Structure 1
C-alpha cells in the first residue's frame, strides 16, 4: 500500500522514536500485568515500618516468593532479576526512594501507578485511552476492526484513516475531524497506531491503518527480561497460533468458535483427533453452528424479580458496594437478565469472588451508572469499555 504524498513518509528518526515508544508501551502493559496480579493475590496492602504507615506496598522477598509460587520464574535468581528489571524501568520504586535497586530482602516497594508517580504521563494516558477505544471497537456489532484484502495481501483488523476519524466523532472521543486527525497522528508518533506498511504518517483518507500494540495478547511477567530486544508483536500477529493454543487446552471432540474463511460469519472448530508425540497434531473440522442459539444453563433465580420488587420499601435485599480489580483475564463473573440483571456465576478463584461477589446478587449501579433497567449485553459493553477497576453496587437477597 503506497502513498502518492511524499510529505506523509515517516522520517527515520520518527520511525525509531515510534518503535522506542512501542517498546515502552510493552513495559507499561507488563507493569500493569504484574501490578494487577499482585493486587489480586493480596500482596499489595498498607504496611507499617519505623512507626510510619505506607499504603499500597509489597515486601520485596514476598514478591520473589510469589513469582516462584505462581511459576512466573524458574528459580529465585531469575525472580530477583525480573523484579530488578521492573525497578530499572521505573515501574516500581522503594517507598522512601532511599534504595537504588531492588533487593531480595524485607524492604518495602510500591508501584508508581499506585502512588501517582508514574513517569511519561502523556504516553500512559494515551496508551490507556487507545486500549479503551480498541476494546469498544471489538464489542460493537458493526466493528471497525475488520479483515481486508486490498490487492494481493491479507491484513488483519485494519481500517481506513477516515473510518477511524468517523468513529472517533461518532463515539464522542473528539469534536471535529481536525481534532481526530491530530489525535491519530499523535498515536502514530507514540507507536500506538501505524500504517500497514509502517512507513507513513496518519492521514484522514482511504489509507489503511491498524493498532500497532497487541492489546489482547496474553503476556507473561518474565517477558520484561528481554522487552528491549525481543521482536515486537503487533496486533495482527499470531492469529493461527492463538487458535492452536486454545485447541491444546480443549478436551477431545470439544469445539471453539472461530472466524470462517470468508470472515463473514463464525464457524465452529472441532478437534476430531489428537496424536501424541514430540509435538501434538490437531485435525480440525469446520462446520456452521445451528441457526438458533444454544441454550445456556438454567437461571440461578428461583423466580423472576422485577425492578419494582427490588426497589420496594422493606424489600428483602441488602445493598453492598463492591470494588473489583480486573486481572489479565477479566473480572471473573457472569451476569444474565434483561433488567434487572443478576449474577449467574462467579469464578471461585477470580477477582469478583475475592471482592465478595455472589450468585443471585442484582446489579444496581455500574461505575456510578444505574443499571437496573439495562440488559446483560449492554452492561457487559459498559464493563469492558470502562476501567479495570470496576465499582458495583449490588442488591443481595437476605438468606
Structure 2
C-alpha cells in the first residue's frame, strides 16, 4: 500500500487551509446575495454590476455578530482581498476601507483565478453534494484494522461510483481523481496512513462542505503541532485575578482533577476582547508552580455521572438517549472541554466561554464519534490523542439523556 509521504502531508495541510478560505468566501458571497448586499450599483455615469458597499458589508458583519468590532470586521474583509477573493471595482485600492467604496467578489465578475488547486476543491465539493444527495450505500459505518469508522467508503466502491456517475471514464482515471482529492484535503484515509489506491482501504470526506463557517476563522491561524499533553485540547479557561495573563486547565489524566497554570501569548489587540488568545508551547508550563486542587465548581462547570453507563445501554433499542452531531472549532487556547471515563467516555466539564460551549457541547454527554471515527470503546486518553493530532475543527457525535 502507498504510505503518505511528508511532501504529501505538507501539501494536504496547505490545501486544507486553502479549502477553508474558499468555503468561507463562497458562503459569505451567497449570504450577501441573499440579503441584497450585492447588487448593481451606480456611481456618476458608471454602473458596477454585482458589487457591494464596503461600509454596508461591515454593518452586515456587525449585525450578524461575526466580529467583535468594526476593526476586526475590516480585518476579515482585508483577508479576502489578500486571498484574491474580492477586489475594489476599479482595482484602485489594495486595502479594504470602511467607507462608501464599491467592491466585488471575483467569482461574480469572472476574475477569480481558477487554478488547478481551486478546481479540484470545487470539484470535490460537487462530488460531496452528489454523494450526500444520492440515496446509496456508499457512506457507511465500516471497520478497518479493528476500528469502526462512521460515514466511510471503500476505495474500490468509490471508483465504481465515479465511473457509474460518469465522473471518470476508466478505473485509472478514477484512481487519479481520488489521489488528487486526497492531496487537496477533500478526502483522507481513515487513519491518515495511506494515499488513495484502488483497493479495500477505507476513506472519508475530510471536508464538511455543508458546515456553516464563521468569518473569524479567517483570522485564527492553525496552531503549531501540540505536544501530547492532557492540557492541550481540553483547557478550562479561568482567569486568575493576580495573574490576568494566565488561565487554568484541568488535567484530564489526573484522578483527583488537579490543575496547573499555563501562560497565553496575545494574538494582538486587533482581534478584540472576545477573540484574543494564544498558542500552546512547551515553555508555557510553569513547572515551578505546584498543582492546585480544583475548588468547588460553579453549577454546570463540572459534573459527574449519576451512575456508570455501558455501551450496550446506550445502544439498546428504546434507550432514553438522543444523538447529536456537533461541530467544534478550536480557538487559540483549545477546544474548552474535558472528557473522562472509558467505554464510553463522557464530557465531564465545559468551559462556558470556550469553543465547545458555543458548539453545544454539554456535561454528561457521551462521546460517540470524532470526525467519523467511532470511539465508544475508547478511553479518555485515546480520545484526547485523537483530538490532539487531528484538525482544529472536529465533528463530534454525542448522546445525551432525554430528560422528562
Equivalent residue for 1:53? 47
Paired residue for 1:160, among 154, 158, 165? 154
Q: Distance in 2 between the 1:48 and 1:64 partners? A: 20
* Cα distance, 1:283 vs structure 2: 7.6
Shift of 1:135: 2.2
- Equivalent residue for 1:74? 68
In the alignment, structure 1 residue 199 sits paired with structure 2 residue 252: no
Query: What is the CA–CA distance in structure 2 between the aligned matches of 1:197 and 1:225, rounded to whole Å?
Result: 29
Q: Give the TM-score, by structure 2 length.
A: 0.55
Secondary structure, counterpart of 1:184 in structure 2: helix
**Equivalent pair of 1:185/1:202 in contact (CA under 8 Å):** yes
Are 2:101 and 1:107 equivalent residues in the alignment?
yes
SS of corresponding position for 1:172: coil
Cα distance per residue 1:168-222 (max 9 Å; x no partner): 0111211211111111111122222222232322111111111121222221122
Note the alpha carbon deviations across 1:99-144, whole angstroms, 9 max, x for none: 1111111111100111111124333332222222222222333331
5+ unaligned residues in a row in structure 2: which ranges? 226-312, 325-350, 367-404
What does residue range 1-399 of structure 1 map to in structure 2 within 5 Å?
Answer: 3=1, 8-226=2-220, 229=223, 269=322
Cα contact 2:85–2:105 (8 A) shared by 1: yes
TM-score by length of 1: 0.56
Cα 1:85/1:156, change in 2 over 3 Å = same
Residues 283 and 183 (structure 1), Cα distance of their counterparts in 2 relative to 1, 3 Å cut: closer
SS at match of 2:219: helix
Following TM superposition, the consecutive aligned residue runs of length 4 or more in structure 1 with deviations greater than 6 angstroms are: 260-268
* Number of aligned positions between the proteins: 250
In structure 1, stretches of 5+ residues that fail to align are: 232-259, 272-276, 285-399
Q: Is the 8 A contact 1:147 1:263 kept in 2?
A: no
8 A contact 1:45–1:56 mirrored in 2: yes
The two structures, once aligned, show a CA RMSD in angstroms of 3.5
Shift of 1:24: 0.1
Contact 2:144 2:202 in 1 (8 A): no
